[in-house]
Amino acid sequence: MSSMPTDPDPRLPLPVFVQRLWSITGRLSLLFVGSTAILLLVAAGYLYWGLQQSLDRGDRALVRGKLQVMQAILREENDQAGMLENEIEHEAAANELLKYYLRVLDARGRVLIETTGMSGFLPVLVFPEPAPFPTTSPLIVERTISTDRSYLLLSAEVAASPNGQERRILQIALNVEHNYVLLAEYRWKLLTVLCAGLIFAAVAGVLLTRTGLRPLRAIAQSTQRISAHNLAERLNPADWPGELHELAAAFNAMLDRLQDSFDRLTEFSADIAHALRNPINNLRGEAEVALGQVRSLADYQQTLGSSLEEYERLARMIDGLLFIARTDNPAATIEHSPLTARAELDAVQDFYEALASEKKVAVHCEGEARLTGDPMLLRRAVSNLLANALKHTPPGGKIVLAARNLADGSAEIRVNDNGPGIAAEHLPRIFDRFYQVSKSRDQTSLGAGLGLAIVQSIMRLHKGQATVSSELDRGTTVNLTFPPQAEPSSRESSDQS
């Protein structure tokens, strides 16, 4: 039993000739050859049709001209017979280039005179019915008398005397077989030109396409040279055609983003290692000291208490990293609820009231705004900002939590302090993970530099923006801008705990 044929696996690679055919070079070359073929065919067809029409018009004009000559001869009074004999029997028969034949019949259809031998291949009945007198444009028909002879035939009734009383029937035939011979030769010449043009178009198409696609091969070569250790490779748009400037600029911009991301990832990895190394070293050192000799119960309790603080700091750091990793996921969503910004600010102020009193820093809330967002995430963002402001604001300082709605419907929450401020060179990276203005890396700080990074992640989830402005010895202001209030969403909240 024969097996049924199966379709080829789409995962298998295509044959080499198919890959070449569907390459850009192959497709452009085919389009170039196809368009050239269409152009040549249209031009050749038009030239052939024009030559055919020109020959046909010339032959018909010749037949009508002979009709006029014969009409003029028949109207002559003097030597009419001699002129007819000369025109019909001698001049027509002697013309080797234009083979035309003349016949004159009386009114009853009897042959009076004709070109010698005409009756043998052009009998009277072959001609169409004579056009009645008078006529200015008698019908001219083309008929094939035998397999290799075609004629233009004209038959007309004409006046045979000056007074127009007598009638004669003129029959004129013109052999047009030479036209078909000429057209056949012309067709072969056109076919030769067409084939030569297509061959030239195919070769030129491949060469031109390969030359035009050379910059794309430069991109491929540049891409192959790029690695984790060589991200400085760039393309020079000035060396490329104008159509590829945008592609080169986009490629360079992509490399800039990759290099920036790689640098940040490298620094982030180093910061994680540094941030985790100190707590681990502290725990290890305390354990080694405690185990170095027998200690009292109070000493062991003190060691365990210090270790517990380090564990808590490690746990907070890990929670912060996990939170940022979840919020950086493009698929992460939150449930937007209508919120009153002043109520959330008051709740954060109440939570930090004891710490503010201990540090002798005044915290005030002002303004009002309506927005949509996640209340827990909003409080966490404001809490991180307030905790950071309390850390850097000296005793006797002041922190303001303010909210307002802007003219476009968006909402803004502002956290302002009058602390020492931040130098301008640090502001672009203030929201980076583990980035700290102080190079000493104050390990007593909560989160080890993750607080503002968490704020940035929360604002990204809300489709908003976090910005910072600061002046040395004047204080720092952080603005959280939320988009215009939207309808409450029914989407499930992502796990942000």
Q: Output the pLDDT for position 39.
A: 92
Asked if pLDDT for residue 220 goes beyond 90, the answer is no
Average pLDDT rounded to a whole number, residues 454-465: 87
% the chain with pLDDT above 90 = 18
Q: Output the pLDDT for position 5.
A: 47
Asked if pLDDT for residue 7 goes beyond 80, the answer is no
Kindly report the pTM of this predicted structure: 0.49
Q: Output the pLDDT for position 491.
A: 40
Residue 213 phi/psi, 5-degree rounding, is: -90, 5
Confidence of residue 468 (pLDDT cuts 50, 70, 90): very high
Asked if pLDDT for residue 249 goes beyond 90, the answer is no
pLDDT in tens, 9-52: 545 554 544 445 567 777 888 888 889 999 999 999 999 999 99
**Euclidean distance between CA atoms 417 and 111, whole angstroms:** 127
Residue 244 phi/psi, 5-degree rounding, is: -105, 5
Average pLDDT rounded to a whole number, residues 386-403: 90
Residue with the two structure tokens 């008398």? 145
Q: Output the pLDDT for position 1.
A: 43
Average pLDDT, the chain: 80
C-alpha distances out from residue 393 to 58, 318, 356, 387, 480, Å = 107, 27, 10, 10, 20
Average pLDDT rounded to a whole number, residues 61-76: 85
Q: Output the pLDDT for position 479.
A: 92
Asked if pLDDT for residue 460 goes beyond 70, the answer is yes
Confidence of residue 78 (pLDDT cuts 50, 70, 90): low
Confidence of residue 194 (pLDDT cuts 50, 70, 90): very high
Q: Which of the residue ranges 59-68, 182-191, 267-276, 434-443 would you say has the lowest mean pLDDT?
A: 434-443
* DSSP for residue 131: B
Q: Output the pLDDT for position 332.
A: 67
Q: Which of the residue ranges 305-319, 358-372, 412-426 would you say has the lowest mean pLDDT?
A: 305-319
Q: Output the pLDDT for position 38.
A: 93
Label residue 405 left, alpha or beta by phi (over 0 means left) and psi (-120 to 50 means alpha).
Answer: beta
Q: Output the pLDDT for position 94.
A: 57
Nearest to 125 by CA among 101, 153, 167: 153
Asked if pLDDT for residue 290 goes beyond 60, the answer is yes
Nearest to 415 by CA among 452, 463, 360, 457: 452
C-alpha distances out from residue 405 to 133, 409, 417, 466, Å = 101, 6, 21, 16
Asked if pLDDT for residue 291 goes beyond 90, the answer is no
Q: Six-digit token pair at 132? A: 């009645």
Q: Output the pLDDT for position 97.
A: 60
Residue pair 176/142 in contact (Cβ under 8 Å)? The answer is yes
Average pLDDT rounded to a whole number, residues 414-420: 90
Residue 377 phi/psi, 5-degree rounding, is: -70, -35
Nearest to 338 by CA among 463, 455, 485, 465: 485
Asked if pLDDT for residue 189 goes beyond 60, the answer is yes
pLDDT in tens, 320-341: 777 776 766 666 677 778 889 8
Sign (positive or negative) of CA dihedral 268, 273, 274, 275? positive
**Euclidean distance between CA atoms 213 and 25, whole angstroms:** 8
Average pLDDT rounded to a whole number, residues 196-224: 83
Which is more confidently placed, 359 or 439?
359
**Euclidean distance between CA atoms 159 and 190, whole angstroms:** 47
pLDDT in tens, 109-162: 888 888 888 888 888 888 998 888 877 778 889 988 876 688 999 999 888 777
> 245-292 vs 214-225: helix axis angle to the nearest 10?
10
Instruction: Output the CA angle 99-102-108, nearest 5 degrees.
Output: 155
Domains of the chain with bracketed CATH: 25-183 (3.30.450), 239-326 (1.10.287), 332-482 (3.30.565.10)
* Reduced DSSP (H G I as helix, E B as strand, rest coil) percent helix, strand, coil of the chain, to 5: 55, 15, 30
Average pLDDT rounded to a whole number, residues 395-421: 90
% the chain with pLDDT above 70 = 83
Nearest to 319 by CA among 327, 331, 308: 327
Q: Six-digit token pair at 16? A: 């080499």
Asked if pLDDT for residue 204 goes beyond 50, the answer is yes
Q: Partners of 370 in the beta sheet?
A: 340
Residue pair 404/369 in contact (Cβ under 8 Å)? The answer is yes
- HSE at residue 480, side-chain half, CA atoms within 13 A, is 33
Q: Output the pLDDT for position 42.
A: 94
| Type and span of the H or E element at 105 | strand 100-105
